[in-house]
């Protein structure tokens, strides 16, 4: 069966990870929490579709506004959740590129909190 739309090797898919559809990310958790609190019956489905777009395509002004209205939050809260997610993603990429940093990070965490 032919592929409809761009294939996985096309430049449009650069840096796209299909696992994002199922990956638990800070933005997805934030969005699910806010949509659930707002009483959306399809909160899980919306979080599943918006969270990958947050990382892969970014959020347009219209996206930010729509999410703020639907979640009952401010534009700044949506932007902050988006930025926190991108920071988390950058850290994930650093750890993938330098797995030895994960060991160092765990050791520093133990030093900071010896309990």
User: Radius of gyration of the chain from Cα atoms?
Assistant: 17
Give the Cα separation of 48 and 29 in Å (integer). Answer: 10
Give the Cα separation of 70 and 65 in Å (integer). Answer: 9
27-51 per-position pLDDT tens digit: 999 999 999 999 988 998 888 877 7
61-82 per-position pLDDT tens digit: 999 999 999 999 999 999 999 9
Give the Cα separation of 46 and 52 in Å (integer). Answer: 11
Strand ranges (E), 1-115: none
């Amino acid at each position: 069966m032919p592929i409809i739309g761009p294939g996985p090797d096309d430049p449009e898919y650069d840096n796209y990870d299909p696992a994002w559809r199922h990956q638990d990310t800070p933005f997805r958790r934030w969005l699910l929490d806010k949509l659930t609190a707002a009483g959306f019956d399809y909160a899980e489905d919306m979080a599943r579709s918006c969270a990958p777009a947050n990382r892969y395509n970014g959020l347009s002004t219209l996206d930010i506004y729509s999410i703020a209205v639907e979640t009952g939050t401010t534009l700044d809260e949506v932007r902050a959740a988006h930025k926190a997610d991108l920071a988390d993603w950058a850290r994930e990429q650093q750890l993938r590129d330098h797995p030895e940093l994960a060991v160092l990070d765990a050791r520093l965490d133990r030093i900071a909190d010896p309990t």
